[in-house]
């Protein structure tokens, strides 16, 4: 009954058009009334405790770093450096999109920010070269969802805080699966676009390649600094976020000189607006998470999944199917915040490694960014590229299928996550 009360009140509040953070609070209050433990102090105290969390400080800092990267010209230079190396191949701009998505994912951790930057730079070039725009938009959208998987990942931070899992281990475990997602997109693009008659970028002399790559040196150094710093224990993920902000600010102000002092207010305001939404969602979700624990909903989930609990692979497949279905209706952050406290006790009881589950869970939620009707990344591509939604949905399908295949491989072969993790943490 408690599951029905929680889910029913949450869906009812959302159906009334209530913002998701308030819907989470409503579902929490509904649970309190059902359990006869209603107390406004409990709600307010859990709200404050939800936001008062040191690892969560990384979220606004990584948001700000992403804004500074885009404003400072770092995103454009990453695209240009990929373009001079692979742009002359058949379908070269598609490969550029994937390589640039992987590099940018290692800098910002935000799917929306990366997709917007890639779409703004590449879609006009692909349109001019004669590429099919539905397919191009689908590829860029699918490339954008690599950002929550390759560190630094805002999704891993949220999951680690809510689920009590090491964020540093999650970061290291996400590197190889993220690269695998990129490889799947490259293979899929080669299959679907190899016969297209498009204008190919001219081959660039080696001197020009080196010059353009050198111009992007500071962008690549930022990725090495952040990931290397966490790998060798120089700083925590939260401190890495601060390093990313300071680094991107200094590069934008003094090296590339594309950020002016008058721009800082606008950049900071944009990051603050986005961060405030995420932080309020986290605070509201932790109210629900506390009540989910009090209502013993995880134990009820364990009972529902009892037939699969002795078979880890089958249980993971069932959980990923559940997350995939939920992800079609909810956005990335709400799905993470709602399902993590419900599923983690089941995962631990079944003996599944929490880091391994976290990687697949975040990949699955990232795939949800590509699935209609919500599909946040799809909406970004539509807005930036001025393409109808139905065209983008049609174009993204082959790439969406390839990412689902990757997730299936990770379920069948857990070593694809755990073996690279052991290499990177020893």
Could you give the dihedral angle defined by the CA atoms of residues 61, 65, 67 and 69, in that order, rounded to the nearest 10 degrees? Answer: 180
Pairwise pLDDT comparison (338 vs 354), residue with the higher score: 354
Q: Identify the pLDDT of residue 13.
A: 83
Pairwise pLDDT comparison (378 vs 174), residue with the higher score: 174
Count of CA atoms in the C-beta half-sphere (13 A) of 202: 4
193-250 residue pLDDT tens: 887 888 777 888 999 999 999 999 999 999 889 888 888 888 888 888 899 999 999 9
User: Average pLDDT for residues 178-191, to the nearest whole number?
Assistant: 96
Alpha carbon distance 299, 321 (integer Å): 20
Which pairs count as long-range contacts for 415-418, CB under 8 Å and 24+ apart, including other chains? 416/176, 416/177, 416/180, 417/173, 417/176, 417/177, 417/355, 417/356, 417/359, 417/360, 418/173, 418/353, 418/355, 418/356
Query: What pTM did the predictor assign?
Result: 0.85
Give the tokens for residue 398.
């082959």
**Residues of 91-117 as b/e, b for ≥16 C-beta within 10 angstroms?**
bbbbbbbbbbbbbbbbbbbbbbbbbbb
Please say whether the beta carbons of 296 and 333 come within 8 A. no
Say yes or no to pLDDT of 36 above 90.
Answer: no
* Chain position carrying tokens 């859990």: 46
Pairwise pLDDT comparison (124 vs 275), residue with the higher score: 124
Give the tokens for residue 130.
């004669």
Pairwise pLDDT comparison (307 vs 162), residue with the higher score: 162
Share of the chain above pLDDT 70, in %: 97
Please say whether the beta carbons of 51 and 33 come within 8 A. no
User: Average pLDDT for residues 183-196, to the nearest whole number?
Assistant: 92
Could you give the dihedral angle defined by the CA atoms of residues 264, 266, 269 and 274, in that order, rounded to the nearest 10 degrees? Answer: -110
Alpha carbon distance 237, 109 (integer Å): 12
- Give burial (CB, 10 Å; 0-12/13-18/19+) of 333: buried
Alpha carbon distance 93, 201 (integer Å): 8
What is the distance in angstroms between the CA of the first residue and the CA of the last residue of the chain? 46
Q: Identify the pLDDT of residue 404.
A: 95
Which pairs count as long-range contacts for 36-43, CB under 8 Å and 24+ apart, including other chains? 37/294, 42/290, 43/287
Which of 85-94, 205-214, 234-243, 296-305 comes out lowest in average pLDDT?
Answer: 296-305
Which of 62-66, 182-186, 216-220 comes out lowest in average pLDDT?
Answer: 62-66
Please say whether the beta carbons of 253 and 74 come within 8 A. no
Please say whether the beta carbons of 258 and 72 come within 8 A. yes
Please say whether the beta carbons of 256 and 74 come within 8 A. yes
Q: Identify the pLDDT of residue 195.
A: 78
Q: Identify the pLDDT of residue 112.
A: 81
- Give burial (CB, 10 Å; 0-12/13-18/19+) of 269: exposed
Say yes or no to pLDDT of 374 above 70.
Answer: no
Q: Identify the pLDDT of residue 37.
A: 77
Q: Identify the pLDDT of residue 63.
A: 83
Please say whether the beta carbons of 334 and 365 come within 8 A. no
Q: Identify the pLDDT of residue 169.
A: 93
Share of the chain above pLDDT 90, in %: 40
Q: How many CB atoms lie within 10 A of CB 285?
A: 27
User: Average pLDDT for residues 119-132, to the nearest whole number?
Assistant: 89
Alpha carbon distance 34, 325 (integer Å): 27
Nearest Cα neighbor of 399 from 66, 136, 47 is: 136
Q: Identify the pLDDT of residue 302.
A: 67
Give the tokens for residue 200.
């190919």
Say yes or no to pLDDT of 408 above 90.
Answer: yes
Q: How confident is the model at residue 15 (pLDDT cuts 50, 70, 90)?
A: confident
* Chain position carrying tokens 């999951």: 159
Which of 35-44, 176-185, 296-305, 306-315 comes out lowest in average pLDDT?
Answer: 296-305
Q: Identify the pLDDT of residue 373.
A: 61
Q: Identify the pLDDT of residue 212.
A: 93
Pairwise pLDDT comparison (71 vs 5), residue with the higher score: 71
How many Å is the Cα radius of gyration of the chain? 22
Q: To the nearest whole number, what is the mean pLDDT of the chain?
A: 87
Give the domain ranges of the chain: 1-38, 40-424
Alpha carbon distance 211, 77 (integer Å): 11
């Amino acid at each position: 009954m408690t599951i029905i009360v929680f889910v029913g009140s949450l869906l009812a509040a959302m159906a009334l058009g209530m913002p998701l953070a308030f819907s989470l609070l409503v579902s929490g209050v509904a649970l309190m009334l059902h359990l006869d433990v209603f107390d406004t102090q409990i709600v307010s105290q859990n709200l404050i405790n939800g936001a008062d969390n040191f690892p969560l400080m990384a979220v606004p800092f990584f948001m700000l770093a992403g804004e500074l990267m885009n404003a400072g010209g770092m995103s454009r230079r990453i695209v240009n450096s990929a373009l001079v190396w692979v742009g002359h191949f058949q379908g070269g701009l598609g490969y550029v999109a994937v390589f640039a998505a992987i590099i940018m994912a290692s800098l910002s951790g935000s799917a929306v920010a990366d997709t917007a930057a890639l779409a703004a730079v590449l879609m006009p070039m692909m349109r001019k070269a004669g590429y099919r725009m539905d397919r191009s938009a689908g590829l860029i959208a699918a490339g954008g969802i690599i950002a929550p998987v390759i560190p630094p990942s805002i999704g891993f931070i949220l999951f680690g805080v809510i689920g009590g899992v090491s964020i540093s281990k999650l970061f290291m475990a996400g590197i190889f699966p993220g690269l695998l997602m990129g490889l799947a997109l490259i293979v899929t693009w080669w299959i679907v676009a190899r016969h297209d008659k498009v204008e190919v970028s001219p081959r660039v002399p080696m001197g020009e390649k080196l010059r353009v790559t050198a111009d992007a040196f500071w962008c690549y150094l930022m990725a090495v600094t952040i990931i290397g710093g966490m790998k060798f224990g120089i700083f925590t993920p939260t401190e890495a976020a601060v390093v990313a902000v300071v680094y991107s600010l200094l590069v934008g102000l003094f090296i590339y000189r594309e950020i002016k002092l008058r721009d800082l207010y606008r950049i900071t305001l944009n990051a603050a607006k986005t961060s405030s939404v995420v932080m309020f969602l986290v605070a509201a979700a932790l109210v629900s998470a506390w009540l989910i624990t009090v209502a013993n909903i995880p134990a009820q989930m364990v009972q529902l999944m009892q037939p699969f609990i002795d078979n880890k692979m089958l249980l993971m497949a069932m959980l990923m199917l559940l997350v995939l279905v939920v992800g079609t209706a909810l956005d990335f952050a709400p799905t993470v915040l709602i399902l993590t406290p419900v599923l983690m006790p089941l995962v631990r009881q079944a003996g599944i490694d929490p880091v391994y589950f976290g990687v697949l869970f975040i990949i699955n939620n990232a795939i949800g960014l590509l699935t209609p009707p919500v599909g946040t990344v799809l909406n970004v591509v539509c807005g930036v590229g001025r393409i109808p939604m139905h065209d983008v949905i049609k174009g993204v399908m082959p790439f969406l299928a390839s990412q689902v295949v990757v997730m299936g491989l990770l379920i069948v072969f857990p070593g694809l996550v755990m073996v690279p993790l052991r290499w990177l943490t020893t």
